Amino acid sequence: MLILSLPPVHQLDLLRLIIEHPLVGAVRYNTGVPSAYDPYETVKRIQVLAEPQGKPFWVDLKAKQLRVVEWAVVPDSPIILNHKVKVELPARVHLRGDESCELREVVDGNKLYVDGKASLVGKGQSINILAKKLEIEGGLLDIDHEYLKAALSLGIKRFMLSFVESWADVQELEEAIARHSHGTVSVHECDIMFKIESQAGVEFVRELPNTYFTVDSPYSVMAARDDLMVHIGVMDMPEALQTIATQDPHAVCASRLLMGLEGGGVSMADLSDLEYMRRLGYKHFMLSDGISREHTKEALVFWAAYAAQRPFEK
């Protein structure tokens, strides 16, 4: 199955193209993306298009993922985060596009002062902090709760949960589902996908019994390869990806797919990567926000040709 990430809802033509395309098996909305509408209206507008197409619609909650809340020009101004953190220095801050800079000071828990080349850091951008010790305060954000309430009120019960590292992360979501549905929706009616983006997340999945990921289970796993590779390094990726695929035979492989499209076209490296992931056991794939939005047509043309030659198991 191919999952595409949706654009901001006001981009209606692209939204329709993705949802209505026959090759797209499911869609995901990244709640970290600013919307022109409130969470209820945002989710409703997607549901109105997805439901008639029979397309599963996943709401991606950000939880402990670190994101920038104000535009910043570094190193002149601080990067302000959505969570307070405690960091043991030395540490590095990884920005979009594999750029990184040295973290020098943390002020008030969420203001990062860094040293590196001048760079514009966008509002809503996700970042990663690599340090010997990092503590992130809090889990689900206020906006996560708003999207959760909106989705449940509309009968939507599929949720992706970012940066899952422990059972406590999952329990927080389950308790929020019970609270916001006033006890009318049980966990076993939902589909909850653990997005694995760190070594702690890999170890968490490794230690769970395989019975957690049967077809009757509400749980599944995603190898969120972009942030995962930043956190564990490229050399440890094969083992981590194999662990996830072994634990959950229906795991989703996400991000860093078809990256050649950013340079003009799908490359041999892209094709080899896809073949390798399938040999590890992955049957379901999700394209990143950037590829889904900026290279939709080219990605779908390639996918049609590839699937025709190398059909996917259902």
- Residue 288, domain CATH: 3.20.20.60
pLDDT, the chain, mean: 94
- Domain match, 124 and 264 both: no
Number of domains in the chain: 2
- Domain match, 190 and 86 both: no
- Domain match, 240 and 127 both: no
pLDDT value at position 25? 96
- Domain match, 21 and 119 both: no
Within-domain flag for 9:
yes
Confidence of residue 314 (pLDDT cuts 50, 70, 90): low
Within-domain flag for 67:
no
Enter the pTM of the model: 0.92
- Domain match, 145 and 169 both: yes
- Domain match, 131 and 149 both: no
Whether residue 65 contacts residue 126, with contact meaning beta carbons closer than 8 Å, is answered with: yes
Query: Model confidence over 232-271: pLDDT tens digits?
Result: 999 999 999 999 999 999 999 999 999 999 998 999 999 9
- Domain end residue (candidates: 103, 118, 136): 136
Rounded Cα distance between 164 and 161, Å, is 7
Q: Over pLDDT 70: what percentage of the chain?
A: 99
Within-domain flag for 212:
yes
- Residue 82 belongs to domain spanning: 72-136
Q: Over pLDDT 90: what percentage of the chain?
A: 82
Whether residue 256 contacts residue 226, with contact meaning beta carbons closer than 8 Å, is answered with: yes
- Domain match, 281 and 210 both: yes
Within-domain flag for 66:
no
Mean pLDDT of the 17-31 span: 96
Tell the residue number behind the tokens 């390639």, with chain if given: 302
- Domain end residue (candidates: 136, 152, 174): 136
Whether residue 161 contacts residue 173, with contact meaning beta carbons closer than 8 Å, is answered with: yes
Within-domain flag for 97:
yes
- Domain match, 169 and 228 both: yes
Within-domain flag for 14:
yes
Within-domain flag for 63:
no
Mean pLDDT of the 128-137 span: 90
- Domain match, 238 and 291 both: yes
Query: Model confidence over 65-100: pLDDT tens digits?
Result: 999 999 989 999 999 999 999 999 999 999 876 788
- Domain match, 155 and 247 both: yes
- Domain match, 154 and 225 both: yes
- Domain end residue (candidates: 136, 154, 181): 136
- Domain match, 111 and 245 both: no
Within-domain flag for 65:
no
